[in-house]
């Protein structure tokens, strides 16, 4: 009995042992929880300093709402700039027009004496800026006002050089105005009759010549200075002026528009030293006038396309926006096309510019300079002495 019991117990133990050695029951794999992916948010690069300043200036400029411009610019230019600038920025241009630089300076000096700050921008000729307004202390340095890289990039300008007119950087030239110093009425003079400045001294032109006043800042003064410095010399120039008065009985006129109009209407056959934008107005209207491409060569100046600023602004932020825009390709294109002369920006098209204001193949060119501009101050006095002596 006992033996049988022991056998049964051994059998049960063996069975239990064998059962424990079997394969484990498969369990479902534990769920794998992935950590959330961290997506890096790229921070925008900081704006360059010029852009930050530009945006701040523009915001303040719109609050000021207007720019006061004292300029010798023609009506078409004033209108074109007002429309384009106003459309782009919503800022108005308020003009005070002048016929001559001397009148502009007188206005600014009077306001300065009265403690009035009326202007933001000056637009006039290079001599007015450099030789007249700068010595009077009414101009501020313009370089610190320039912000836009497009403006400051020298490669954007003719000759790869930013067009400051003076070494102290008080004035900028915007226009490459080729001066055609002889205009004539085509109903009175045939093309090719005149090829040189000295041809104007021919006897048949006696009493038929008018000269833009060389005793004041302007085209007439620049004309005689060009003859004295670039073409002849001072003595020959003085003799030329004397002959114009005594032999040709030249009539001297000071009003730029009337000077050209008197040739248009046939009162005079020849006009010496006409204002370029005055000719544009009449030529575009179909007037019977033409210019002479003289064999001596031609002179290039900024004409009335020189830019300056006062020592203090009436609207400092709006003025800064206008000046920078005016010197961009967009602003310079509006100015050049309406002014009728090529821009000094090399990327502005000359389409629509009258051919007479573009250099001719092989034509000799004389460039304006600060030294030439300063000489014109002396030339005004010399011209007055010659005229007074010859008129006695």
What fold is seen in the domain 51-177+303-360? D-Maltodextrin-Binding Protein; domain 2 (3.40.190)
pTM of the model: 0.77
Question: Which class is 181-292+373-390 in CATH?
Answer: alpha beta
Q: pLDDT of 178-233, one tens digit each?
A: 999 999 999 999 999 999 999 999 999 999 999 999 999 889 999 999 999 999 99
Identical fold for domains 51-177+303-360 and 181-292+373-390, yes or no, is yes
pLDDT value at residue 12? 39
Domain range annotation of the chain: 51-177+303-360, 181-292+373-390
What's the whole-number average pLDDT of the chain?
90
Q: pLDDT of 276-305, one tens digit each?
A: 878 988 998 999 999 999 999 999 999 899
Q: pLDDT of 66-124, one tens digit each?
A: 999 999 999 999 999 999 999 999 999 999 999 889 899 999 999 999 999 999 999 99
- HEC states along the chain? CHHHHHHHHHHHHHHHHHHHCCCCCCCCCCCCCCCCCCCCCCCCCCCCHHHHHHHHHHHHHHHHCEEEEEECCCHHHHHHHHHHHHHHHCCEEEEEECCCHHHHHHHHHHHHHHCCCCCCEEEECHHHHHHHHCCCCCEECCHHHCCCHHHHCHHHEHHHCCCECCCCCCCEECECEEECCEEEECCCCCCCCCCCHHHHHCHHHCCCEEEECCCCCCHHHHHHHHHHHHHCCHHHHHHHHHHHHHCCCCEEECCHHHHHHHHHCCCCCEEECCCHHHHHHHHHCCCCEEECCCCCCEEEECCCCEEEEECCCCCHHHHHHHHHHHCCHHHHHHHHHHHCCCECECCCCCCCCCHHHCCCCCCCEEECCHHHHHHHHHHHHHHHHHHHHHCC
């Amino acid at each position: 009995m006992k033996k049988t019991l022991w056998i049964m117990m051994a059998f049960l133990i063996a069975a239990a042992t064998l059962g424990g050695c079997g394969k484990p029951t498969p369990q479902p794999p534990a769920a794998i929880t992935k950590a959330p992916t961290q997506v890096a948010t790229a921070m925008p690069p900081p704006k360059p300093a010029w852009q930050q300043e530009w945006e701040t200036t523009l915001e303040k400029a719109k609050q000021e709402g207007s720019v006061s411009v004292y300029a010798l610019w023609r009506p078409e230019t004033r209108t074109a700039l007002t429309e384009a600038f106003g459309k782009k920025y919503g800022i108005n241009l308020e003009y005070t027009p002048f016929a001559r630089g001397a009148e502009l300076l007188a206005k600014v000096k009077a306001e300065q004496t009265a403690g009035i700050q009326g202007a933001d921008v000056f637009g006039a000729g290079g001599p007015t800026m450099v030789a007249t307004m700068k010595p009077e202390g009414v101009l501020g340095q313009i370089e610190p006002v320039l912000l836009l890289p497009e403006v400051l990039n020298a490669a954007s300008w003719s000759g790869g050089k930013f067009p400051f007119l003076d070494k102290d950087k008080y004035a900028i030239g915007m226009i490459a105005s080729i001066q055609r110093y002889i205009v004539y009425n085509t109903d009175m003079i045939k093309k090719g009759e005149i090829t040189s400045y000295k041809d104007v001294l021919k006897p048949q032109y006696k009493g038929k010549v008018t000269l833009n006043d060389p005793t004041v800042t302007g085209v007439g003064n620049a004309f005689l200075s060009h003859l004295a410095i670039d073409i002849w010399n001072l003595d020959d120039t003085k003799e030329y002026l004397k002959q114009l008065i005594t032999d040709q009985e030249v009539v001297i006129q000071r009003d730029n528009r009337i000077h050209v109009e008197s040739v248009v209407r046939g009162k005079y056959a020849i006009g010496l030293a006409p204002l370029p934008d005055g000719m544009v107005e009449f030529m575009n209207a179909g007037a019977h006038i033409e210019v002479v491409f003289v064999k001596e060569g031609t002179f290039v100046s900024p004409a009335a396309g020189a830019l300056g600023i006062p020592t203090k602004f009436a609207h400092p932020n709006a003025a800064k926006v206008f000046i920078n825009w005016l010197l961009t390709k967009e602003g310079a294109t509006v100015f050049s096309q309406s002014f009728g002369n090529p821009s000094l920006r090399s990327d502005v098209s000359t389409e629509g510019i009258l051919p007479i204001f573009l250099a001719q193949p092989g034509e000799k060119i004389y460039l304006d300079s600060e030294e030439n501009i300063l000489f014109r101050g002396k030339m005004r006095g010399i011209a007055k002495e010659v005229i007074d002596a010859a008129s006695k």
